[in-house]
């Protein structure tokens, strides 16, 4: 599934977990909004979730993730796996076109409608049209700078926003 029109990145580095996203909402080749919030806190502010894709679909999925977090007492791993199972098998959910990144103090996951629950080896996850640019920038910054996770996210988002026409520089950053 290729999701266009945004950039979301998560970086785990130096004991911190951070999720960041841009604020641009595009409809085709037209910018409709510049300051959207695609990163939000869930489950008593213990989980941060960022989304890419169709807005209503993404909100539906983040609401479902929050329900799963409530059901499993904040266990992100269990909630993510159960959401992915529902997303893959439920007739209505299966049609949703979005991707999520969710992070807590211990784990960061990328969730897709094909049932994927991915935790990266290097602590960096990115989705959306600018995701590959942000991910590459973050990987370089982790290896070759002394920046903390928040500043790595900010720099990576700035780089992605300079390359991807569907990503802007109105960045929302949330630490876990």
Active site residues: 6
Least Cα distance to 108 among 9, 1, 5, 4 occurs for 9
For residue 111 the two structure tokens come to 């969730």
Residue 17 bridge partners (DSSP): 12
Q: How far apart are CA 145 and CA 148, in angstroms?
A: 9
Using only C-alpha atoms, the chain has a radius of gyration, in whole angstroms, of 15
137's tokens: 């920038």
Give 119's DSSP letter.
-
SS3 content of the chain, % helix, strand, coil (to 5): 35, 30, 35
Report the C-alpha gap between 104 and 158 in whole angstroms: 24
């Amino acid at each position: 599934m290729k999701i266009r029109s945004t950039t979301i990145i998560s970086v785990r580095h130096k004991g911190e977990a951070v999720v960041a996203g841009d604020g641009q909402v595009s409809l085709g080749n037209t910018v409709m909004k510049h300051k959207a919030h695609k990163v939000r806190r869930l489950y008593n502010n213990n989980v941060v979730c960022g989304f890419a894709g169709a807005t209503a679909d993404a909100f539906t999925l983040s609401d479902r993730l929050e329900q799963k977090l409530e059901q499993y007492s904040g266990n992100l791993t269990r909630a993510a796996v159960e959401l992915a199972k529902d997303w893959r098998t439920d007739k209505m959910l299966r049609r949703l076109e979005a991707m999520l990144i969710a992070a807590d103090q211990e784990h960061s996951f990328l969730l897709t409608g094909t049932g994927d629950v991915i935790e990266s080896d290097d602590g960096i996850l990115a989705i959306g049209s600018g995701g590959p640019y942000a991910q590459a920038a973050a990987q370089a910054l982790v290896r070759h700078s002394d920046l903390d996770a928040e500043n790595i996210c900010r720099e990576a988002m700035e780089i992605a926003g300079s390359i991807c026409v569907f990503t802007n520089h109105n960045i929302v950053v949330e630490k876990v």
